Amino acid sequence: MKKSKILGLLLIAISISSTSLKAQVSEPDFIGEAYLLKNDISIILLDKEIADYTTGVSWSSNSCKALSIEISGDKAQTRFSSDESLKIVVRAADNNSDPLAIISVYKFKSAKNKRTVVLSEDNSWTVMESGTDSKDMVRFNGKKFGTSSYIIELNNLKPGEYGILVSNPNSRDEKRPVVATFGISQTQNSDLFNANSMSLTERWELGLEHQKGTFLPTAYKPTYILLGNLNTNPNTLPQSENPLYSFSEQQPMNALELKFQLSFKTKILQGIFGRHGDLWVAYTQSSRWQVYSQESSRPFRETNYEPEAILNFATNYRLFGFKGSLLGVTFTHQSNGQALPSSRSWNRVIFQLGFEKENWNIVLRPWIRIKDDDDENPAIADYAGRADLLVVHNWRNQQFSILGRHSLRSGENNHGSFQLDWALPLFGNLKGHLQIFQGYGESMIDYNYKQATFGVGISMIEW
């Protein structure tokens, strides 16, 4: 008897608590209005904006007729972090219907001081119904809240601009719908080790929704350790076209060594020309360690240092199915920090074009070498190249990349190289890493020496 009384009291308490919550938090006033309900029962109102329906042609879908919504301004004022789970209360005419039938959540594209989303596309050029087949619709779970509202849950939203549209039976012919808008910003912690499988737009913060401010270290090139890197043709007598920088005696070298690379970047200026142009600085260091050469005291055979200054601009055009998203210019210095006769270095101005589509990134980089008065490696561009092409593909939590370089010359100056990398998940953020290199310029000391290397190890950051 006592147990049944206790159970009854618990049920009454839960009922009172639920009723109290709804009493403390009132519903939004008008259809289409919404707010974020926080765990402490406080609320944050979402922006309420007036949109316009527009029609046109969607070139991304074989010239379909497209119905879109357009909102003035490139970003919402109300913003949340990408690691937040959102519970949003949305007002409707009533809550007797399934919320999926009357509430739509969209991810908008932001460009040229406006936000747009394609609601539907139709190849037949006939009348279309709004919201029936949008590729930018966001899934959600919803349940009743109060007498005329729903509470919807949104999880794992990517950075960007979002809007909530509610069907209003009182204005079926409305040409300027009310949209509850908000933005998702990238969480700024652990960005240095949380950059795998990113698009170029995300990696270089090319959209307003991806911008994280200045002086935040982020990933640049891959960071890895090849515990075993086998050289099939070790360069025991490094040479240069400048005789002062050529070895006269064979150097002891084990064909098996350890190789590692560290790389990061940070933005130091944002929006240099109005809203356009970001200035970055970057640093990459790669080392070849003769750790398995006990007889020669396990020396570091070669370390290359590469500081860079990078000016990037966002672009938006289509080429062979890819989005052209990046245009940039870089000044880079690369050297091995050695004295005669081991010293190698060069300075370059690099131009870069970036292209992307789902799971693919492509970066083309031609460059101009800045000549030195005392040239340690006069023909380095004929061997290490005058341009490179990087192709990255992400597939099922794995990443495949190929980096090719070429001298852009024919005949006896026709030289180049390629490097293949494969990263596959092990546990947590740790990945297994395989690397194959073939050609000239595996390191600065080997710029004019042809060789092949095969490496296996681990990595934490990929392209």
Catalytic residue, from 293, 333, 393, 406: name it. Answer: 333
- 448, 239 Cβ separation under 8 angstroms: yes
3-class secondary structure per residue, 67-80: EEEEEECCCCCCEE
Is residue 210 annotated as part of the catalytic site, yes or no? Answer: no
Q: Which helix or strand (DSSP H or E) is residue 460 part of? A: strand 450-461
Residue 196: how many CA atoms within 13 Å on its side-chain side?
22
Pick the catalytic residue from 197, 263, 293, 335. 335
Give dist(CA 36, CA 148) in Å, integer. 16
Encoded tokens for 316: 């938006």
Distances in Å between the Cα of 341 and the Cα atoms of 248, 249, 441 are 9, 11, 17
* 3-class DSSP assignment, residue 95: coil
Pairwise CA distance, residues 303 & 357, whole Å: 35
DSSP string, 5-70: HHHHHHHHHHHHHHHHHHHHSPPPSSTT-EEEE-TTS-EEEPEEEE-EEEEEEEGGGTSEEEEEEE
Instruction: Indicate if 276 belongs to the active site.
Output: no
Report how far apart, in Å, the C-alpha atoms of 411 and of each of 164, 382, 414, 451 are. 62, 11, 5, 20
Burial zone of 412 (CB within 10 Å; 0-12 exposed, 13-18 middle, 19+ buried) = exposed
Measure Cα distances from 433 to 213, 234, 451 in Å.
31, 22, 20
The residues carrying an active-site annotation are: 333, 335
